[in-house]
Amino acid sequence: MKRYRFERRGVLALAASAWGQEFDAAQAPAVAQEGPVAVVTIRGPLTQHSDWFCDSYDAIKARVGAALASPAAKVALRITSPGGDVAGCFEAAAEIRAMAAAAGKPLHAYADGQASSAAYALACAADTIHLSSETLVGSVGVIAGTIDCTAADAQMGVKFHLFTSGARKADGNPHLQMSEEAAAEIQRQVDEFGELFCAHVAARRGVSVEHVRGMEARQYSGQTAVEKRLADGVTTWSGFLAMVARGGAGGAAAKESRVEYEEMVKALRALAEGDDEEQAKKAKAALVALGEEEAEDDEEPKKDEEKSKAEDEGDEEKSKAEDEEKAKAKAARAGASSAATAAAAAVAAENVELKARLDRLEISAMLDKRPDLSAAVRKWCLAQTPDVARSFLEQASKPTAQRHEKASQPKAGPALLEGRERDELDEGMGIRKAGASGPSKDEHGRFTINVETPAQTRARLAAQKGA
């Protein structure tokens, strides 16, 4: 099996120890069926798009889609990965979550050995996360590295001149010495993606951004990961499959769904007690349909009373008439209740859509105050709830004053040999006659370099021996 070295450049969501590490160049296996569970394997470093050696977010999304479309009732992600590209990572996690919700199938994740950084971000798309006792998860953070080749360039006598249209355009170029301004700009980008990562994990795991940030990108194993709320339980792979198959895996996402349901019921109760009679009526009907309220039946005691009175008086005909009237009233009530329930469902759908619009408007107003954020960050914020977006924006690094001054020039490297020392070195290498002048330029701007022919070299060496 071929092996390759993972040495990606740019901003990465990767466990630091994985950069430069060798991995097996194995193709990801197809979706496997384990009883009622479809298993999607995610292994090795991750890239945004298709790669010769690595698994990619595009390929993972395709495999998850195939698993969700299969007859399997549930889907499990089996992850052994140190992470990979930041680009496309959070979008892939959101798409996987949306696909599972649309398919109406539970999605669970199992960390098998390692699910770090970008790999953990994908695991957070699942309803639950489990791991073995020796598996590492976490590393919620991003990393970027640069190379400084200026000393090596100087030793080789090479100078690079870069011409850019912006002061920050050449930041991170290996042939320019890193300036303080360039370092600050690269750190700003890293911090921005780091906050995005923390917000993603916080939203999916039901914890605060401060809790995630406080872990400082550490990795945790086994029960410690559960205590840090990065996972929901410790088990073996076979134990995990059995648990998922019988539907016993509960987690942070399941708890979050229950919270959302309770908030919906609370909102309906508020409408039912509001001043708008029509809205109150529909909200009460919706609560009845959800089983949260009992249907009102105020007329029953009165009818029963009248019936009893009629029977006591021996008025059988009146009692019969009352029974018929009661049956008609019940049928009318049942029809009204069905109509109210349907209307309430329609109103609930309209309210959900209206709330989503209001949420987007609220988040857009927040984003208007942060022109420094990138388009990717803005898109992510608009897909969140106002509370999550607000928490992220409050904690995201504030924009610094733009620097328009000219970028500082790179420091000069070690001085090249000059004068007599250079001449002696050239003469010793045989590329210049003793006492000969250096390169000269003619009137056309062409350089002439004095180089000995083999015959001239032999004659010079013979003369040196004779001397």
> How confident is the model at residue 409, as a pLDDT?
47
> How confident is the model at residue 403, as a pLDDT?
41
**Is residue 266 domain-shared with residue 230, that is, in the same domain?**
no
More confident residue, 461 or 211: 211
> How confident is the model at residue 141, as a pLDDT?
94
The order of strands in the sheet holding 46-47 is 12-14, 83-85, 46-47, 55-56
**Is residue 235 domain-shared with residue 288, that is, in the same domain?**
no
- Reported as a single tens digit per residue, the pLDDT across 230-272 is 999 999 999 999 999 987 666 554 454 444 556 666 777 777 7
Rounded to 10 deg, the angle between the 375-382 and 386-395 helix axes is 150
Residue with structure tokens 């109103």? 347
Among candidate residues 230, 253, 276, the one where a domain is terminated:
253
**Is residue 209 domain-shared with residue 249, that is, in the same domain?**
yes
Report whether pLDDT(413) > 70. no
Report whether pLDDT(416) > 60. no
**Is residue 243 domain-shared with residue 264, that is, in the same domain?**
no
Report whether pLDDT(321) > 60. yes
Q: Can you tell me the distance from the alpha carbon of 350 to that of 342, in angstroms, rounded to the nearest whole number?
A: 12
Give the range of the structural domain holding residue 331, as residue numbers without chain letter: 256-368
**Radius of gyration from C-alpha coordinates of the chain:** 36
> How confident is the model at residue 459, as a pLDDT?
83
Rounded to a whole number, what is the distance in angstroms from the first to the last CA of the chain?
64
Q: Can you tell me the distance from the alpha carbon of 396 to that of 213, in angstroms, rounded to the nearest whole number?
A: 11
pLDDT class of 326 with cuts at 50, 70, 90:
low
- Reported as a single tens digit per residue, the pLDDT across 440-450 is 555 666 656 66
Percentage, residues of the chain above pLDDT 70: 63
Among candidate residues 253, 272, 300, the one where a domain is terminated:
253
**Is residue 241 domain-shared with residue 263, that is, in the same domain?**
no
More confident residue, 379 or 417: 379
Report whether pLDDT(219) > 80. yes
> How confident is the model at residue 216, as a pLDDT?
95
pLDDT class of 116 with cuts at 50, 70, 90:
very high
**Is residue 260 domain-shared with residue 249, that is, in the same domain?**
no
> What's the sign of the alpha-carbon dihedral 238, 242, 244, 245?
positive
Q: Can you tell me the distance from the alpha carbon of 331 to that of 243, in angstroms, rounded to the nearest whole number?
A: 46
Could you tell me if residue 97 is left (phi over 0), alpha (psi between -120 and 50 degrees) or otherwise beta?
Answer: alpha
| 50 occurs within a structural domain | yes
Least confident range from 52-66, 374-388, 445-459: namely 445-459
pLDDT class of 105 with cuts at 50, 70, 90:
very high
**Is residue 318 domain-shared with residue 232, that is, in the same domain?**
no
- 237 contacts 190 by C-beta, under 8 angstroms: no
Query: Which residues partner with 4 through β-bridges?
Result: 23
| 380 occurs within a structural domain | no
**Is residue 232 domain-shared with residue 278, that is, in the same domain?**
no
Mean residue pLDDT across the chain? 77
Q: How many CA atoms are closer than 13 Å to the CA of 49, on its beta-carbon side? A: 0
| 383 occurs within a structural domain | no
- Reported as a single tens digit per residue, the pLDDT across 130-162 is 999 999 999 999 998 888 898 998 899 999 888
| 403 occurs within a structural domain | no
pLDDT class of 224 with cuts at 50, 70, 90:
very high
Least confident range from 123-132, 227-236, 366-375, 394-403: namely 394-403
Least confident range from 71-80, 116-125, 188-197, 362-371: namely 362-371
More confident residue, 24 or 213: 213
- 293 contacts 341 by C-beta, under 8 angstroms: no
| 381 occurs within a structural domain | no
Report whether pLDDT(103) > 80. yes
pLDDT class of 36 with cuts at 50, 70, 90:
very high
Rounded average pLDDT over 414-443: 58
Report whether pLDDT(318) > 70. no
> How confident is the model at residue 411, as a pLDDT?
47
Residue with structure tokens 């022109």? 371
> How confident is the model at residue 408, as a pLDDT?
45
Domain count, the chain: 3
**Is residue 278 domain-shared with residue 175, that is, in the same domain?**
no
More confident residue, 233 or 325: 233
- 110 contacts 237 by C-beta, under 8 angstroms: yes
| 345 occurs within a structural domain | yes
**Is residue 247 domain-shared with residue 268, that is, in the same domain?**
no
| 405 occurs within a structural domain | no
| 223 occurs within a structural domain | yes
Angle at the Cα of 281 from the Cα atoms of 277 and 287, rounded to 5 degrees: 140
**Is residue 72 domain-shared with residue 166, that is, in the same domain?**
yes
Among candidate residues 233, 253, 273, the one where a domain is terminated:
253
**Is residue 356 domain-shared with residue 442, that is, in the same domain?**
no
Percentage, residues of the chain above pLDDT 90: 35
How far apart, in Å, are the Cα atoms of 250 and each of 220, 257, 399? Answer: 21, 11, 41
